[in-house]
Structure 1
Amino acid sequence: MIKKILVFILISGFLSTHTAAQTHRQIELFDIAKGKVVMTAQPTPKVHEEVGKVLAGITGPYPKLNPVPGEGFMIKVPLEPSVRVKTQLFTGLVDEVIIIFPPYENPHLMFFDDKGRALAFNFKGDAARLLELLNFKQ
């Protein structure tokens, strides 16, 4: 139980670096098991385009109560300009997305709506392309 609380606190810190005053926000790769950011990169138009494709590929809500696994990694991508998402499940602007890569299931994504609620979704698409663009090897 304590481990789950600590992981939640660490991840909350990772997720809460979203501030309106930030400029030149970086992409961050967070290793869940290590509990820290292990890589940063500058956003590029190609990464922005690829994340837009992932958002357009939303297929349904992520079914598990906790979208953050005990191991694996997450990539937080700031989106400037924001991406307009229009699906049956969500319509609005997304200015930051977290793509979660669990070791034993397909990746899924999470972002915050305009009310600050975390929303997690499954998606179809090639998340491996995003990893290639970031030069990240598992």
Structure 2
Amino acid sequence: MKKTFILLLIFFSSYGLYAYAQPLQVEVFDVKQSEVIKQIPLEENIRKEAFSLVKSADSLFPKLNPTPISGFMVKVPFEPEEEIETKVLHQKVNQVIFIFPEAEKPYMLIFNEKKQPMFYYFSEDHLSFLKHIKMEL
């Protein structure tokens, strides 16, 4: 399980290596299949919805193992990076990974300034975001 999580982190953090060669993409990763199942261009409406979710960060994710057994993850790049200030988060964000496990509350992964992964719950309703990327729980 730990190996899978590390591989996911490496995969999702590889964004910076090719970001300037192509338009920004939203990527949907299926946890059970262990692969990207969808890539869509980052449109402004998707960016706004994602930013709204990030701004609603309200508490840290308390579990020791943040890797879900099933569900999907959605990587959204922010270029240029966005300054976020909430009661639990105050930093610039250049990428977020939303994690939607089956039958559990969704949460998100953001790397802090020291490139350490930090997991947060968000309070904003995520259904509109999922509708924009054409995904369902």
Q: TM-score, normalised by structure 2?
A: 0.90
User: 2 CA distance for matches of 1:46 and 1:25?
Assistant: 14
Give 3-state SS (helix, strand or coil) of 1:7's partner: helix
Q: Say if 2:132 is the partner of 1:130.
A: no
Any gaps of 5 or more consecutive residues in structure 1? none
- Mapped to 1, the partners of 2:128 and 2:64 lie a distance apart of 27
Residue in 2 aligned with 1:119?
118
Runs of 4+ in structure 1 displaced over 3 angstroms? none
Map of 2:15 onto structure 1: 18
Paired with 2:82 and 2:125, the residues of 1 have a C-alpha distance of 18
How far has the Cα of 1:81 moved from its partner? 2.3
State the distance in 2 between where 1:87 and 1:136 align. Answer: 27
Closer/same/farther in 2, CA of residues 118 and 6 from structure 1, 3 Å limit: closer
SS of the counterpart of 1:19?
Answer: helix
Name whichever of 6-15 and 104-113 sits farther off. 6-15
Counterpart residue identity of residue 114, structure 2: K
TM-score computed with the length of structure 1 as normaliser: 0.89
- Alignment RMSD, CA only? 1.6
- What is the alpha-carbon distance in structure 1 between the residues aligned to residue 67 and residue 5 of structure 2? 9
Structure 2 unmatched runs, 5+: none
Alignment of 1:55-70 (within 5 A): 55-70=54-69
5 Å matches for 1:35-74? 35-74=34-73
How many residues get paired? 135
Letter in 2 for 1:130: F
